[in-house]
Structure 1
Amino acid sequence: MQTDFLETILSARTDTDVQHHFLETLDHLGFSHGLYAARFMLSLPDSISREDYYCFGNFPAPFMDAIESRQLLASSHWMTWSHQQTGSAPCQQIDAELTTECARLADRHGLNSGYVLSLRNQIPDVHGMVVVTPHAHASPIKSRRLWEIAGGRIRMLSTLLHFRMATLRRNRRAQSLTRRQREVLEWSATGKTVSETAVILGVSAATVEKHLRLARAAMSAGNTAQAILKAYVTDQLFTTSSDKYDKR
């Protein structure tokens, strides 16, 4: 089962495939509920990256809807602990007093007897965590016994999941700019004005402005300087590997 998962997740081409196989394997290991949350591009300030936690899981829908719509994970002790620690710990140990809204919500749904796994320092500029529980309203004793049996495998599977998700997202970002958008950002980065860039590329200034606007949108940037920075740190500018870009 574990070998099958390794082969399947390494060959997965979409987020959906990775999620399905990860949650399916957790269920085989005795944990029917799993939650993964991660943030990428941590080298950029929040004001520039504009990236919320990427999250998926099969916890009950009301719980998932609440933590996503109200962004409860960011302020949870689960997340704080995973930022500061490595390894794993019981959910109840991390927030025994239910001091955060996320923990109180989990307790109301009977999901507070699982384990939190920190994925800290696994990948540069990426942070993540995994939360697993056997089922709703499972006893802490049952959760601990299952963890003693399967905890090591779940840690390995979670690490592999984290690496694969980071790779898929990095590949997707690397394909987000067209060739023309990359060109106008590169010339802007060297200090060229819109008019100068238009002359260099043999197009109108309006066309340059259009591609700059599209590049800002593609990078979710508020201005051209932010788009240049985000494109640079994701290896989309000043690279000789042009085959990874759209030829438009």
Structure 2
Amino acid sequence: MTKLAAHLEALINAPTFETLWDLHTVRMAELGFDRLIYGFTRYRSGDSLGDPQDWVVLTNHDDAYMDRFLGDGYIHSAPMVRWALANDGACSWSWIANSDNLTPAERRVTEFNRSMGVVAGYTISFRSVSQRTKGAAAITARAGISQDGVEDIWAEHGEAIRVMSNVVYLKMLTLPHATRNLTKRQREVLEWVADGKITQDIATILDLTPATVEKHLRLAREALGVGTTAQAVLKASFYNEMFILDPDSRGTDE
């Protein structure tokens, strides 16, 4: 088995986000890219990426960078984000230097990135499965590697990097990711709702009172930031928080 095949198999079999991310960041650092951002949303609408609280974001950038890139809203004016929203595939950051139509806001983001040492790399935009979804990765080269150096790396390893990145992205879509934690009982009642059961049915199945079932449904809606139980089922399913194999390992019981 080749090194790439062995690595892809390890990514595919990763049981958690943490394992997946550790495997990928180590390999990418070996290739010269030591700072990564992976982002995914199911709530895209036009140029809007939806509520940041609903995004899935993995990164190994330091807090000093991410607090400003996300917290100060630079992400919304980043030129490579604009590119990713309009395209699929991989794009060299040389596109920024060669673009004559950057807006003033995009130029501010470019200057911010330069001040933080985020100057050379590639952006990978993953093929969307619907109009509401979008996923992308920004891979930043190690300090001291110029964009010309990145192009040399890409010429040799670009195909493998694209394949690895797509496998990581697709694997991310299958793993539970608790942006807003549900308890074991909240997941159970949502699962029974998803199976078409009404409150009285769920109370009988779980040996609870209907009032207790309603309480868990209410708390699940609050935890997920939605107004209806149907929306809670949908959001929980989006983040693979239902019908998971090992619910006892995550959250509390009541």
Q: TM-score, normalised by structure 1?
A: 0.74
Q: TM-score, normalised by structure 2?
A: 0.72
Per-residue Cα deviation, 1:29-78 (whole angstroms, up to 9, x for no partner): 222332212213659xx899775432222334421232232343243222
Match of 1:40 among 39, 42, 47: 42
Distance 1:71 1:17, change over 3 A: farther
SS in structure 1 of the partner of residue 19 of structure 2: helix
Query: How far apart in 2 are the matches of 1:235 and 1:94?
Result: 36
Distance 1:91 1:181, change over 3 A: same
Contact 1:133 1:143 in 2 (8 A): no
Query: How far apart in 1 are the matches of 2:65 and 2:244?
Result: 43
Query: How far apart in 2 are the matches of 1:235 and 1:146?
Result: 35
Distance 1:221 1:133, change over 3 A: same
Query: How far apart in 1 are the matches of 2:28 and 2:90?
Result: 16
Alignment match, 1:141: 148
Distance 1:167 1:113, change over 3 A: same
Match of 2:162 among 155, 162, 167: 155
When structure 1 is superposed on structure 2, of 220-229 and 54-63 the one drifting more is: 220-229
When structure 1 is superposed on structure 2, of 12-21 and 198-207 the one drifting more is: 198-207
Where in structure 2 are there 5+ consecutive unaligned residues? Answer: none
Compute the displacement of 1:126 (Å): 3.6
Alignment match, 2:57: 55
Distance 1:174 1:86, change over 3 A: farther
Contact 2:28 2:34 in 1 (8 A): yes
Contact 1:175 1:244 in 2 (8 A): no
Compute the displacement of 1:129 (Å): 1.2
After superposition, the CA RMSD in angstroms is 3.8
- Asked if 1:115 is matched to 2:122, the reply is yes
Query: How far apart in 2 are the matches of 1:49 and 1:174?
Result: 19
Distance 1:11 1:111, change over 3 A: same
Counterpart of 1:85, as a letter, is N
Distance 1:140 1:155, change over 3 A: same
Alignment match, 1:169: 176
Alignment match, 2:189: 180
Aligned residues: 233
Counterpart of 2:188, as a letter, is R
Query: How far apart in 1 are the matches of 2:92 and 2:38?
Result: 16
Alignment match, 1:191: none
Where in structure 1 are there 5+ consecutive unaligned residues? Answer: 189-196
Match of 2:222 among 200, 204, 217: 217
Distance 1:171 1:158, change over 3 A: same
Quick one: percent identity of the two aligned structures? 24
